[in-house]
Amino acid sequence: MRFEDRVAIISGAASGMGLLAAQRLAAEGACVVLTDVNEEAVTEAADAICAQGGDAVGVRVDVRCYEEVEAAATLAMERYGSIDILMNSAGGNAARVLGRSGPFHELDIEVIDWGLDVNLKGAVYFCHAVLGQMLEQKRGVVINMGSVDGVTGSGSPDYSAAKSGMIGLTKSIALIGAPHGVRSCCVSPGPVLTRPAMAKMKTRLGRAAEPEEIINLILYLCSDEAAFITGDNYRIDGGRSIGGMYG
């Protein structure tokens, strides 16, 4: 029960890494506010956690709308009295999520806007909404979900730019928070088996990660065991970003 009496807010929590993190945090004692643009799915996810004995609430939040982000932070305070963990997990490759195809320079600008807004601006919004409370209570951890593509670059410049920006956001929040006991870390996975297509992406270890492997790192960074860790980006990519040619 590493997170007993802790309160977590997670964006993109209706599926994938955000949902798994919410389930694991709740199982280890945290009260969890799950947020996602899919209201039905995020409500069902929170209800399922409660049915397993956890304490969770699901809230519809479009991370592109600051008023909705701020309302989720307010709900966490009103319901639980603190905000101890923020995990910025909402995001994805815009072209894939929106069902578009074609090279970057031929994509509609609305696709590019979606990628930048959801993958980066939403995280900035959530940090803005919760940081004051964390500073006041002199405790808190921010986990920003990056990507190996933010380190190496990719064929999706908007995605890579946003994920690279998560590293700068992490370092900046760490600088602001350090005098007040607030930490910030970025976790940058390589391919993860949240989608079958991920299995085809090459890594030096010859496989994609199991989702639990990523969550194990995230929960460690959120815990008191990592109390002296802040401000860095943690690649968990099976050696994908080492460089050199694949055979």
Rounded Cα–Cα distance for residues 63 and 117 (Å): 8
Give the Å distances, CA to CA, from 135 to 79, 91, 184, 204: 19, 26, 12, 40
* b/e code 51-75 from CB counts within 10 Å (16+ = b): eeebebbbbbbbbbebebbbbbbeb
Q: What is the DSSP letter of 116?
A: H
- Residue 246 designated active-site: no
* Catalytic annotation, pick one of 80, 125, 159, 234: 159
Rounded Cα–Cα distance for residues 221 and 90 (Å): 19
Copy the structure tokens of residue 151: 């380190």
Find residue 35's DSSP bridge partners. 59
Active centre residues (catalytic): 159
